[in-house]
């Protein structure tokens, strides 16, 4: 079957490669007319590719590596790694071989070392939960130069040469969190706290979306400076304790990243959990219990299983030079106590 590439789509639609990339990744900055031309070109090329008889060939092997932050304190990442390992055993019979390596969470140097250690002769592509920094971008670009496909997972790396980014629209996630907290506040005056890690692109995007909506629709609330929780519950609990002490008017809290156990502990200790509306991310076992007990009001969730599946799909599309097989954005779910799965 004839492969459909980014370049062929751009040529058919008479737009730039960057425009095609934005459309495929669901990013802003593309006019409705240009997006329509890109999507029409994709349909035309998909039809043309199917009019060519595929040649008989030996089943291709795919060898991919996942690079995921390690540590027992981030349940979402632990669950993701466990799923990759299980999936790897299941897919071996389909000639898809997965391996997993890790790095200390938020350690830029360990991530660079993990990227540099990828064997470009045996590994065809990697999926990485990355830190958004120039040195990490350089390490990714060096792998791409060696012919290894790179897909960023959960969090993207700005201006890197990665092939595709798998994850939700995090600006939209932040906007959603702001709308929830603003409506929960019911026009009560007070301050809103944010805890996160701005070295991660997904969390930086969530903050941007959050502050956009708060400034537009809820400017009667005071949005406080983001406090660094390092996605670590043992750090987050102390950060929130101090925030509660210094801001008796706190009525809303947005945990942009991980560390939910620290949020839960600090609010339970404070005796103020009924007065503060909390929106957090990822429906882990801890967040689920917090929803049931009323400590959390809403949890915005991205399905890590779907993200891993999409990452494999994107890496196979890279190896096959078939951009028509690229997955779309990951959908977000919002959970309250009364709609828990």
Superfamily per CATH, domain 62-167+305-330? Response regulator (3.40.50.2300)
pLDDT score at 55? 45
Query: What is the band of 243 on the pLDDT scale with cuts at 50, 70, 90?
Result: very high
pLDDT at 215 over 90: yes
Topology classification of domain 170-302: Rossmann fold (3.40.50)
pLDDT score at 47? 54
Are the C-beta atoms of 260 and 282 separated by less than 8 Å?
yes
62-167+305-330 matches 170-302 in fold: yes
Q: What does DSSP assign to residue 28?
A: S
Report domain extents, the chain.
Answer: 6-50, 62-167+305-330, 170-302
In this prediction, residues 136-148 reach a mean pLDDT of 97
pLDDT at 296 over 80: yes
- Show Cβ contacts of residue 150 under 8 Å, excluding neighbours closer than 6 positions: 125, 126, 128, 140, 143, 144, 160, 161, 162, 163
Q: Which two tokens stand for residue 270?
A: 């404070």
The packing angle between helices 260-270 and 285-293, to 10°, is 30
């Amino acid at each position: 079957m004839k492969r459909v590439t980014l370049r062929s789509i751009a040529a058919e639609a008479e737009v730039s490669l960057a425009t095609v990339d934005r459309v495929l990744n669901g990013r802003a900055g593309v006019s409705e007319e240009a997006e329509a031309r890109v999507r029409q070109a994709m349909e035309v090329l998909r039809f043309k590719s199917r009019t060519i008889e595929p040649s008989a060939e030996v089943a291709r092997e795919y060898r991919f590596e996942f690079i995921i932050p390690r540590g027992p304190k981030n349940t979402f990442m632990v669950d993701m790694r466990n799923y990759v390992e299980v999936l790897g055993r299941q897919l071996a019979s389909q000639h898809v071989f997965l391996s997993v390596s890790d790095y200390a969470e938020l350690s830029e140097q360990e991530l660079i070392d993990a990227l540099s250690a990828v064997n470009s002769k045996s590994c065809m592509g990697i999926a990485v939960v990355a830190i958004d920094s120039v040195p990490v971008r350089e390490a990714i670009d060096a792998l791409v130069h060696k012919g290894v496909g790179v897909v960023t997972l959960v969090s993207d790396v700005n201006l890197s040469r990665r092939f595709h980014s798998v994850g939700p629209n995090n600006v939209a996630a932040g906007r959603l969190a702001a709308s929830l907290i603003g409506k929960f506040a019911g026009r009560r005056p007070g301050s809103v706290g944010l805890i996160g890690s701005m070295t991660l692109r997904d969390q930086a995007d969530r903050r941007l979306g959050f502050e956009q909506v708060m400034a537009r629709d809820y400017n009667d609330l005071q949005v406080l400076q983001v406090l660094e929780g390092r996605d670590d519950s043992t750090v987050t609990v102390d950060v929130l304790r101090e925030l509660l002490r210094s801001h008796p008017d706190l009525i809303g809290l947005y945990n942009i990243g991980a560390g939910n156990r620290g949020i839960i502990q600090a609010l339970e200790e404070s005796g103020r959990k009924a007065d503060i509306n909390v929106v957090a991310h990822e429906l882990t076992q801890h967040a689920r219990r917090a929803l049931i007990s009323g400590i959390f009001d809403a949890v915005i969730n991205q399905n890590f299983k779907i993200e891993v599946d999409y990452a494999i799909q994107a890496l196979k599309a890279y190896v096959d030079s078939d951009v028509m097989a690229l997955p779309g954005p990951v959908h977000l779910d919002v959970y309250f106590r009364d709609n828990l799965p």
